[in-house]
Structure 1
C-alpha cells in the first residue's frame, strides 16, 4: 500500500464517489484510480466501497474504519511537511486563511498587514465562504486557520477558540424617523422593511430568534452576505439595515446613522478554528495572536493538545 492509494480513496469520498471528478482533482486518470483502489482493497482483504458495475455506490462498514486511518495517516504526512518547512524556512511559507465575508472585509486587514510586516516572506492566501465552507476548508487542509461566527464549534474535527464578541447595529438614513430614537424596539423594527444577512451569516439566526421570542414577524425586504451591499440598499431607501458593528465602526465616511442593537439581539462570539491534530507553524500562531489579545500561543497549543476541552471568553 502507498500514499497515492490513500489519497485516491480520500478524494473519492470527498467527491461523492465520483471517480471522474476525483481524477480531475488529482490530475490523473479514472482507470488508474480504480485500479489503485482495487489493489488496496485486495491487499487489505476488505471492500472499501460497494460497487454497481464500475460505479462506487457507498462506503462499506470496514471502509469507514479504513477511511479513519487514511485520514490520520495523510494528516500526519501533511504535518511532517509543515515541520520540514518550519525548520528549513523559518520566516517564509504560505498562510491560508478561510473566513466569511464580514471577517475578511472588516476584521482581517489589520492583522494581515501586521503579519506581513513581521514575516514579509510569508504569502497570504484568503478564502471567503459560508461558515460551513470555512469549516470544510479547514478539515480538507485547504486552510491553516478559519474565522467565523457560526458553525465552527459544531465540528469535532476542529479545535475552536473564542476570538472576540460583537453585536449587531441598526443602520438607517439620517432622515429616517428612527434615527431620532435612542433605543429602537423590536416592535418598531417589525413595522419597517428590513435588510439583513442571509440566515447562514453573521448572527442572523439570533436576530430571527429575538423576533420569534416576542411573537413578531419581521418584514425582511432583502437578504445579502455583504455588509456593504446592505448599506447600499439602505441608502437606496429600501429599508433599515441590521448588520455587524464592525461594518460601521470602520466606516468613517458613512452618511448613515447607526445605533447599537445589543439590547435587542444580544452578543455574538466570533471563533477562530484549526483542524484538530494539525501542526501549526510559528507564523500561524503569531497571526492568531494578532487577531485577538485573548488568544495566546500557549492557549492555542494547549487547546490543540486537548481532547475536546471547551474554551470560552
Structure 2
C-alpha cells in the first residue's frame, strides 16, 4: 500500500463515488485508479467499496475505517511537507482562507492588513462561499482555515473555535416609518416586509426563531446571500433587513438608516475551522490570534491536541 492509493480512496469519496471525476481531479486515468484500488483491496483482504455491476455505489463498513485512516495519513504527509517548507523559511509561504462574503468584506480587512504587515512574504488567498462550502474547502485540503458563521451541518473532522460575536441591527431606507418610533419591538418589525439571509446561513434561522418564539410570522419578500445584497434592495424600498451590526457604515450606506436590535435577536458567533489532524504553521496560528486575542497559538495547539471546540485562553 502507498500514499497514492490513499489519495485515490479519499478522492473517490469526495466525488460521490464517481471514478472518472476522481481520476480527473488527480490528473490520472480511470483505469489506473480502478487498478490501484483493486490492488489495495487484494492486499488488505477485504473490499473497501460496495459495487453493483463493477460500479462503486458506496463504502463497506470496513471501508469507512479505511477512509478515516487514509485522511489522517494524507493530512500527516501534508504536515511533513509544511514542516519541510518551514525549515527553509518560517515567514514565507501561502495562506489560503475560506470565508463568507460578509466576513471578508466587514470583519477581516483590519486583521488581514495587520497580518500582511507582519508577514509581507506570505501570499494570502481568500476563497469565498457559503458557510458549509468554506468548511468543505478546509475539510478537502483546499484551504488552511475557514472563517465564518456556524453551520447547520456538522463537520466532525474539523475543529471549530468561536472567535467573534456579532450583534444585529435593523437596516432600511432612512425614510422608513419604523425609524420614527422611539422604541422598536418584534411586533413593529413583523408588520413590514423583510429581506432575509439565505436559509443556508444560521443567522437566518436565529432571526426567524426569535419571531417564532414571539408567535410572529413576518413576510419575507426576498432572500440574499450577503449583507451588501440585502442592503441594496433595502435601499430601493423593498423592505427592512436584519444584519450583523458590523455591516452597516453610515458613511458608505447613504440613504440607509440602522437601529440596534441586539435586545431583540441573539448574537451570531463567527468561528475558525481547522482540520483536526496535521501540522499548523506558525503564521497560520498568528493569523488566528489576530482575529481573537484569546485564540493564542498555545491555546489553539492545546485545542487541537484535546479535540476541544472551545478555548479558554491563556
Separation in 1, partners of 2:47, 2:37: 9
SS in 2 for 1:200: coil
Q: Deviation per CA, 1:141-169: give whole Å up to 9, x if none.
A: 11111111222893221222211111111
Q: CA, structure 1 residues 3+33, in 2 after alignment: closer, same or farther (shift >3 Å)?
A: same
**2:171 matched to which residue of 1?**
171
Is 1:254 aligned to 2:256, yes or no?
no
Q: CA deviation at 1:202?
A: 5.6
Q: Deviation per CA, 1:242-265: give whole Å up to 9, x if none.
A: 11111114x522221101111111
SS in 1 for 2:264: helix
| Contact 1:159–1:273 (8 Å) recurs in 2 | yes
Separation in 1, partners of 2:165, 2:40: 48
Separation in 2, partners of 1:289, 1:144: 15
Q: CA, structure 1 residues 266+312, in 2 after alignment: closer, same or farther (shift >3 Å)?
A: farther
Separation in 1, partners of 2:70, 2:182: 58
Structure 2: runs of 5 or more not aligned: none
**1:112 matched to which residue of 2?**
112
Q: Deviation per CA, 1:209-255: give whole Å up to 9, x if none.
A: 00100111011111001211111111111011111111114x52222
TM-score (ref. length: structure 2) = 0.95
**2:36 matched to which residue of 1?**
36
**1:154 matched to which residue of 2?**
154
SS in 1 for 2:293: coil
Q: Deviation per CA, 1:108-135: give whole Å up to 9, x if none.
A: 1221122111111111111111211122
**1:62 matched to which residue of 2?**
62
Q: CA deviation at 1:309?
A: 5.6
Map 1:58-97 onto structure 2 (within 5 A). Answer: 58-97=58-97
| Contact 1:152–1:158 (8 Å) recurs in 2 | no
| Contact 1:303–1:309 (8 Å) recurs in 2 | yes
Separation in 2, partners of 1:76, 1:143: 16
Q: Runs (4+) of structure 1 moved beyond 4 Å?
A: none
Structure 1: runs of 5 or more not aligned: none
Is 1:201 aligned to 2:201, yes or no?
yes
**1:123 matched to which residue of 2?**
123
| Contact 1:99–1:129 (8 Å) recurs in 2 | yes
| Contact 1:93–1:123 (8 Å) recurs in 2 | yes
Separation in 1, partners of 2:222, 2:278: 40
Q: Deviation per CA, 1:15-67: give whole Å up to 9, x if none.
A: 11100101111111000000111011111111111222231111111211211
Q: CA, structure 1 residues 183+143, in 2 after alignment: closer, same or farther (shift >3 Å)?
A: farther
SS in 2 for 1:280: coil
TM-score (ref. length: structure 1) = 0.95
SS in 2 for 1:154: coil
What's the RMSD between the two structures over aligned residues?
A: 1.7
| Contact 1:182–1:259 (8 Å) recurs in 2 | no
Q: CA deviation at 1:173?
A: 1.3
**1:297 matched to which residue of 2?**
297
Separation in 2, partners of 1:57, 1:209: 38
| Contact 1:92–1:122 (8 Å) recurs in 2 | yes
**1:16 matched to which residue of 2?**
16
Separation in 2, partners of 1:232, 1:214: 28
| Contact 2:131–2:148 (8 Å) recurs in 1 | yes
Aligned residues: 312
